[in-house]
Amino acid sequence: MEAYRETEEEDEERRRQRKLEEALEVKSLRRIISAYLNYPDAADEDVRRWERSYRKLPPAHKAVLSHYPQKFRKLRQCIAANSYFIFSMLQAFEPPLDMSQDVDITEHEHHDMPHDHQFSSERNICCAQTASTSGNAGSCECTEPVHRDENDSIHTSTKRMTSSQEEKRENVSEAGNSSSEAEPYKERCKHNSNEVAESNGNGPSSPGDWLSPSLQLDVPLVDVDKVRCIIRNIVRDWAAEGKKERDECYKPILEELDALFPNRSEESPPACLVPGAGLGRLALEISSMGFISQGNEFSYYMMICSNFVLNHTQTAEEWTIHPWIHSNCNSLSESDQLHPVSIPDIHPASAGITEGFSMCGGDFVEVYSEPSQLGAWDVVVTCFFIDTAHNIIEYIEIISRILKDGGVWINLGPLLYHFADMHGQEDDMSIELSLEDVKRVALHYGFVLEKEKTIETTYTTNPRSMMQNRYFAAFWTMRKKPVEMNHSAS
Ligand SMILES: C[S@@+](CC[C@H](N)C(=O)[O-])C[C@H]1O[C@@H](n2cnc3c(N)ncnc32)[C@H](O)[C@@H]1O
């Protein structure tokens, strides 16, 4: 009887924890959606600030800059075009959670949560250009294989990786029409939410509902900065203007994969994992080369955007955005600052993907520590990823564990540890190893270094800017020694 009561209490406690976890995740996701929705106002506030400064000029100085009012008008059109893209992207996103649920979480409950779950999806994307050290999110969404349908578009279904392994399918809707016309953003929002509400009914997670202003949160400006970082990431992954960066970062990895797996079988292609896949271009390229490719990403900022580009774009160059309007600094000309960028440069669904391409949402450590992942991969590719760790040793240990014996780890990136500047949080940790120590740790976990070089590159840098931060990134190929070799070495 006593034992029965204890089990019941444990079950109740687990249910409470799960509910709390989900409420926290909904809150984080609402915050991210709010950041996206706040983009037009925040961007417009910048323009208003620039206008105020302009108005303070003495008349003689103002006369020299008589073209400025026109520039402000053009900036607003660019903001409207970006906002239209962002809103279309949000509309295509199907939240894997009931966004209307009550997310009032008491201080006490919050402290009851394991640390990893606190504000999981809020610590997020990195913006290496500014050498900022934003961390990353721990949202737990796992997408099952992306596959082609008869319409030749890529579909993604979503599985939430909560402790209970609940499943929720994502319905992939048709992408809306694109427009580079600067239509007033708020009008467009109203119009589109009505359309969706009519076609999708009144379910709690229908887009019309979860985008409703009543569910939005006040977000700090730093959150909107993350949206601007995403816009820059779109150029890196999905614009012709990002080709130089992709050639510097992705090409050496793709060439190495090609050299290491020259006779890959079509019937049984090698399996490649790309942790920290960002907006998914590298994972897609690997798939197109004949690998079963899985991207892993834990930022909802990134997932919302990659889902849109991969699953909802109908043609190449369907959308136009203006990525460089948010700063007046280091511009060579006004036209450089306002420069329109067409995306995507390729139509992902026509890229010749290999069956089994998928994007898996969730924290790398959490998802790939599962026993089912043991020895599951022929190759792990990390690009600008390993320095996102709180504990890089844990990343290396997991990479070693999930590789097959004889499997390879290809890495490219710097060591700009994302949590290095997290001050003031007692329980936060950041292990910041030198390259020499990273290699020592890899050796310890059974890797043999096969190739090593330095690659000079940028990360989400405006190619037209007068400021170009360059990394001297480490590139390596390491092979996991077969077990017998491991034993004989120790
Ligand atoms: C610097 S970005 C690099 C993105 C992409 N690989 C590229 O080269 O453009 C690092 C990415 O890793 C993701 N990330 C960071 N920590 C992660 C984790 N623990 N699990 C999964 N993804 C993570 C971030 O959200 C971000 O998209």
Model confidence pLDDT, tens digit, residues 426-481: 778 999 999 999 999 999 999 999 999 999 999 999 999 999 999 999 999 999 99
What single-letter DSSP state applies at residue 391? B
Model confidence pLDDT, tens digit, residues 100-127: 776 665 555 555 544 433 333 333 333 3
Which residue has the least CA distance to atom 5 on ligand 1?
Answer: 278
Q: Tell me the mean pLDDT in the region 184-202.
A: 27
Q: Is 275 in the pocket of ligand 1 (CB under 6 A)?
A: yes
According to the model, what pLDDT value does residue 397 have? 98
The pairing of strands 292-297 and 271-275 is parallel
The pairing of strands 377-383 and 319-321 is unpaired
According to the model, what pLDDT value does residue 147 have? 30
Look at residue 91 and give its three-state secondary structure: helix
According to the model, what pLDDT value does residue 186 have? 28
Percent of residues, the chain, with pLDDT higher than 90: 64
According to the model, what pLDDT value does residue 485 have? 61
Residue whose entry in the numeric block shows the structure tokens 């190929």: 477
Model confidence pLDDT, tens digit, residues 137-158: 222 233 333 233 333 333 343 3
Q: Is 250 in the pocket of ligand 1 (CB under 6 A)?
A: no
Q: Please identify, by atom number, the ligand 1 atom nearest to the C-alpha of residue 236.
A: 9
For a ligand 1 pocket test, name from 132, 133, 136 the mutation site with the most ligand atoms within 8 angstroms of its C-beta.
136
Q: Tell me the mean pLDDT in the region 79-104.
A: 88
According to the model, what pLDDT value does residue 105 have? 59
Q: Is 180 in the pocket of ligand 1 (CB under 6 A)?
A: no
**CA of 181 relative to ligand 1 center, distance in Å:** 32
pLDDT at 23 > cutoff 50: yes
Q: How far does Cα 23 stand from its chain's mean position?
A: 22
Q: Is 337 in the pocket of ligand 1 (CB under 6 A)?
A: no
For a ligand 1 pocket test, name from 243, 299, 305, 382 the mutation site with the most ligand atoms within 8 angstroms of its C-beta.
299
**CA of 220 relative to ligand 1 center, distance in Å:** 22
Q: Is 278 in the pocket of ligand 1 (CB under 6 A)?
A: yes
Model confidence pLDDT, tens digit, residues 245-285: 999 999 999 999 999 999 999 999 999 999 999 999 999 99
According to the model, what pLDDT value does residue 239 have? 98
**CA of 416 relative to ligand 1 center, distance in Å:** 13
Q: Is 78 in the pocket of ligand 1 (CB under 6 A)?
A: no
pLDDT at 169 > cutoff 50: no
Q: Is 207 in the pocket of ligand 1 (CB under 6 A)?
A: no
How far apart, in whole angstroms, are the C-alpha atoms of residue 431 and residue 389? Answer: 8
* pLDDT grade for 130, boundaries at 50, 70 and 90: very low
Q: Is 298 in the pocket of ligand 1 (CB under 6 A)?
A: yes
**CA of 383 relative to ligand 1 center, distance in Å:** 8
Report the DSSP beta bridge partners of residue 476. Answer: 411, 452
Mean per-residue pLDDT of the chain: 81
How far apart, in whole angstroms, are the C-alpha atoms of residue 47 and residue 42? Answer: 9
| Better-predicted residue by pLDDT, 105 or 305 | 305
* pLDDT grade for 37, boundaries at 50, 70 and 90: very high
According to the model, what pLDDT value does residue 232 have? 97
Q: Is 384 in the pocket of ligand 1 (CB under 6 A)?
A: yes
Residue whose entry in the numeric block shows the structure tokens 């390491």: 478
Domain spans of the chain, in order of start = 11-489
According to the model, what pLDDT value does residue 11 have? 85
What's the CATH fold of domain 11-489?
Answer: Rossmann fold (3.40.50)
In DSSP notation, 305-368 reads: HHHHHHHH--STT-EEE-TTTT--TT-S-HHHHH--EEE-SS-GGGS-PPTT-EEEES-HHHHT
User: 68-92 and 2-55 helices cross at what angle (nearest 10)?
Assistant: 160
Q: Is 460 in the pocket of ligand 1 (CB under 6 A)?
A: no
For a ligand 1 pocket test, name from 237, 298, 309, 390 the mutation site with the most ligand atoms within 8 angstroms of its C-beta.
298
According to the model, what pLDDT value does residue 14 have? 87
In DSSP notation, 34-75 reads: HHHHHHHHHHHHHHHHHHHHHHTS-HHHHHHTTTHHHHHHHH
**CA of 447 relative to ligand 1 center, distance in Å:** 23
pTM of the shown model: 0.81
Percent of residues, the chain, with pLDDT higher than 70: 75
Q: Is 285 in the pocket of ligand 1 (CB under 6 A)?
A: no
- CA separation, residue 5 to residues 2, 9, 19, 45 (Å): 5, 6, 21, 58
pLDDT at 223 > cutoff 50: yes
- CA separation, residue 375 to residues 98, 142, 380, 398 (Å): 35, 20, 11, 10
According to the model, what pLDDT value does residue 303 have? 96
How far apart, in whole angstroms, are the C-alpha atoms of residue 403 and residue 409? Answer: 8
**CA of 283 relative to ligand 1 center, distance in Å:** 12
Q: Please identify, by atom number, the ligand 1 atom nearest to the C-alpha of residue 237.
A: 9
pLDDT at 208 > cutoff 70: no
In DSSP notation, 417-465 reads: -TTTT--S-TT---B---HHHHHHHHHHTTEEEEEEEEEEE-SS--TTS
Q: Please identify, by atom number, the ligand 1 atom nearest to the C-alpha of residue 276.
A: 12
pLDDT at 297 > cutoff 60: yes
**CA of 13 relative to ligand 1 center, distance in Å:** 33
pLDDT at 197 > cutoff 50: no
Which residue has the least CA distance to atom 11 on ligand 1?
Answer: 276
According to the model, what pLDDT value does residue 470 have? 97
pLDDT at 403 > cutoff 70: yes
* pLDDT grade for 5, boundaries at 50, 70 and 90: confident
